[in-house]
Amino acid sequence: MIESLPRIAVVEDNEDLREELLFYLNHKGFPAWGTGSAESFWKLLHRQDVDIVLVDLGLPGEDGFSIVQFLHELQGYGSIVITARGDQQDRLRGLNLGADLFLVKPINFAQLADALVQLNRRLKHGATTESRAAEPGWQGWSLSPSGERLLGPGGKALPLSRQESALLSILLTSTNQVFTRQALHDLMFEHAAEPDLHRIDVILSRLRQKARREDVLIPIRTIFGRGIVFAGSAG
């Protein structure tokens, strides 16, 4: 059976980029439509079908963060942030609000098309935040509002350093998504002069040692050759 492509909406106020994206997506067979503001997007959403929304952050009026948050609350939609604002704070905020991916301009259109197909598969197989919450190893896990503790099933709480909290914030927002060490480093230490992937291993090792001392089994797995994932069994 031929896999159907997701329906795409592009919310981008740069008309040239919006038209380039729509031309490319339509050429590749994606049903796609676009608009330049959040306000017009909400009006069109009632009349146009969509599975995944590409959202620019720097929109006139209502910004892209509010779109991501509301789509997440509505459920049933995928969202990908496309922005020139690639600092760590914006990345974490976008992911915490429910974005499935965070891409920094200039966008590689071919990679974007692949990402849309992969995200559509995840959505079709129920890999939304709501369904992930019912999976073993996800249900009952969260960060405290301050981010200073990891809260686990049964009321256990594990104190966290700032870097441990940042790492878990990324992994918990995208459970069952494998992150390479490079991706985690880019999210956590974007302004580092030289990439040092060993920092991720050090943070993870200390977190696991602390968890063992406190008798807390955190479901973080290291997948050889791929990366790190918050998944269904402790690792």
146-190: pLDDT as tens digits: 778 888 877 788 999 988 988 888 888 766 677 888 888 888 876
Which of 2-11, 35-44, 70-79: highest mean pLDDT? 35-44
Helix (H, G, I), strand (E, B) or coil at 181: helix
Residue 157 to residue 141: CA distance in whole angstroms: 10
pTM of the model: 0.56
Looking up tokens 């490079």 gives 182
pLDDT (0 to 100) of residue 53: 96
Mean pLDDT of the chain: 83
Phi, psi of 103 (to 5 degrees): -115, 140
Q: Tell me which architecture the domain covering 8-128 has in CATH.
A: 3-Layer(aba) Sandwich (3.40)
Give the angle subtended at the CA of 228 by the CAs of 224 and 231, to the nearest 5°.
Answer: 105
**Cα(149)–Cα(127) distance, rounded to whole angstroms?**
26
User: Any idea which residue has 């997948």 for tokens?
Assistant: 223
pLDDT: which is higher, 32 or 195: 32
Alpha helices (runs of H) in the chain, residue ranges in sequence order:
15-27, 38-45, 64-74, 88-96, 109-124, 129-132, 162-173, 181-188, 198-213
pLDDT confidence of residue 111: 87
Domain residue extents for the chain:
8-128, 133-230
Q: Quick one: pLDDT band at residue 138, thresholds 50, 70, 90?
A: very low
Span 57-70, pLDDT tens digits: 999 988 999 999 88
Q: Which CATH number fits domain 133-230: 1.10.1040.10, 1.10.10.10, 1.20.1070.10, 2.40.50.140?
A: 1.10.10.10
